[in-house]
Structure 1
Amino acid sequence: MLEIKGLTGGYQQDVPVIRDVSFEVQAGEWVGLIGMNGAGKSTVLKHILGLLEAQAGTISLRGETLKSDRSAFRAGIAYVPETPKLYQELTLREHLQLTAMAYGLESGVYEERSERLLHTFRMKDHLDEFPGTFSKGMQQKVMILCAFLLQPDLLIVDEPFVGLDPLAIHALLELLEEMRRQGTGILLSTHILGMAETYCDRFVMMNRGEIALHGTLAQMGEQAKLPGASLDDLFIHVVKGSAR
């Protein structure tokens, strides 16, 4: 579904941060994007979202690219960023309504989904409040609510658990699993390796702007010559190996 081939890019022309990155996310698959701070994870995500222009390589979603059909490409993606980005002058209700309008959700679909999400994340009593009154965790919930209003082909979640309480984390994981069963491809960037190992089908482990290991946990263990290794073991192996 999402196909990345030979992606090279960064924030300045001819100064690549990531080099020759290639991987896929299939429908109904959960892929973990793993790496230290500065490994290139966020740069990859920004290229997928069209916030950065690639120096080389291609990114396609169900065969479409930003160049071939920008509207269709972006309509197929929902995104939960690490740091909430909210409109301070809009209430929670207005954030949800704006998202529904932008993606053309029918009113009945919007009402059903928003009601369920507000109940799940215990935000119904805050519908007419503004983001400035919300805690970091509540602001993150607003981003999650807006993303889950949609049923995208691809859901990108970047460190979504930061600031969430245990009940909200549990609810988020259940919803991610439900979306996967419905056919959504999920690309998760996280430092919580134990959670990633439990839920993800495959992994892309980045180091210094390149893919160090990729595939299932077993496949990465074979690549690293560490059969049976945990995700944590493989992460330490890659990071320490590159420091030599």
Structure 2
Amino acid sequence: MNKQSEYISMQDYVLRVAIREAGYDEEKPVIRQIGLEVAPGQLIGLIGPNGAGKSTTIKTILGLMAHVNGEIELGGQNKRYAYVPEQPVFYEYFTLWEHLHLAASVFGMDERQFGPKAEELLERFRLTEEKHHYPTHFSKGMQQKLMLIIAFLLEPDIYIVDEPFVGLDPRATADFLRLLEGERERGAGVLMSTHVLDTAERICSGFVLINSGSVVARGSLDQVRAAAGCAEDATLFDCFHALT
């Protein structure tokens, strides 16, 4: 068994999820028996077709579902998470820089640390010239970069990332993956929902495949292949189609 795919003890996780049922209506749960754990340095891919329950799972983890029967536990040094939504969220009358400053203030980031870190991230994502402009006028890709910069600025224990590659050009995607690798080396964990299966296969430590509101396979790629009844050289794409 892949060492990174083994279940982990309480003191070693940054996220543990044990959802028995959750949904918008108490009588009509959308997801059932969703269990997953993320260890420091792990990147777990949350995979499934549209309508499978990925978004509901993420909303449940974030505490946004009205009816939940289960437990969500954050670990790590600060028990802090950063959420990167698929659809960027921002204030209409705040500049890019003001968004960063607000996020830093909310999380109590030291002002002396904030400036250099924010400037570094802006340069990395090639948004330095836009820092005093309003994201309302940005392209979707630039707005997505803002979401990523805020997340990396906060250096959380766990990143919860929903379809991060949507709208990013190849250079921004490469920058994102390099920064994410650095955060994993720091000890942060990542739960990432994505439909980009070839990239997920290359970068993820393990996978949780959801279909019809429940987990159908989880673990390393070899474990997912076994659950799907696929050959030893089957791709994640092959397993996805076999299981969903």
- Partner amino acid for 2:216? A
**What is the alpha-carbon distance in structure 2 between the residues aligned to residue 111 and residue 20 of structure 1?**
43
Contact persistence 2:95–2:133 (CA under 8 A): yes
Contact persistence 2:60–2:68 (CA under 8 A): no
**What is the alpha-carbon distance in structure 2 between the residues aligned to residue 120 and residue 148 of structure 1?**
11
Q: Identity over aligned residues, as a percent?
A: 46
Aligned pairs for 1:17-96 within 5 A? 17-62=30-75, 76-96=80-100
Quote the residue 2:204 is aligned against.
Answer: 200
Secondary structure of 1:24's counterpart equals strand
Quote the residue 1:233 is aligned against.
Answer: 238
Quote the residue 1:68 is aligned against.
Answer: none
What is the Cα deviation at residue 227 of structure 1? 3.5
Quote the residue 1:128 is aligned against.
Answer: 132
After TM superposition, where is structure 1 displaced by more than 4 Å over at least 4 residues in a row? Answer: none
Q: Would the alpha carbon gap of residues 43 and 237 (structure 1) be closer, same or farther in structure 2, given more than 3 Å must change?
A: same
RMSD: 1.5
**What is the alpha-carbon distance in structure 2 between the residues aligned to residue 173 and residue 179 of structure 1?**
10
What is the Cα deviation at residue 63 of structure 1? 8.7
| TM-score normalised to structure 2 length | 0.91
Unaligned 5+ residue runs, structure 1? 65-71, 240-244
What is the Cα deviation at residue 204 of structure 1? 0.1
**What is the alpha-carbon distance in structure 1 between the residues aligned to residue 204 and residue 211 of structure 2?**
19
Residues 1:173 and 2:184 aligned together? no
**What is the alpha-carbon distance in structure 2 between the residues aligned to residue 31 and residue 92 of structure 1?**
30
**What is the alpha-carbon distance in structure 1 between the residues aligned to residue 76 and residue 139 of structure 2?**
40
**What is the alpha-carbon distance in structure 1 between the residues aligned to residue 133 and residue 75 of structure 2?**
38
Contact persistence 1:213–1:220 (CA under 8 A): yes
**What is the alpha-carbon distance in structure 2 between the residues aligned to residue 146 and residue 156 of structure 1?**
13
Correspondent of 1:140 among 140, 144, 162? 144
Q: Would the alpha carbon gap of residues 50 and 98 (structure 1) be closer, same or farther in structure 2, given more than 3 Å must change?
A: same
Aligned length: 230
Quote the residue 1:115 is aligned against.
Answer: 119
Quote the residue 1:67 is aligned against.
Answer: none
Unaligned 5+ residue runs, structure 2? 1-12
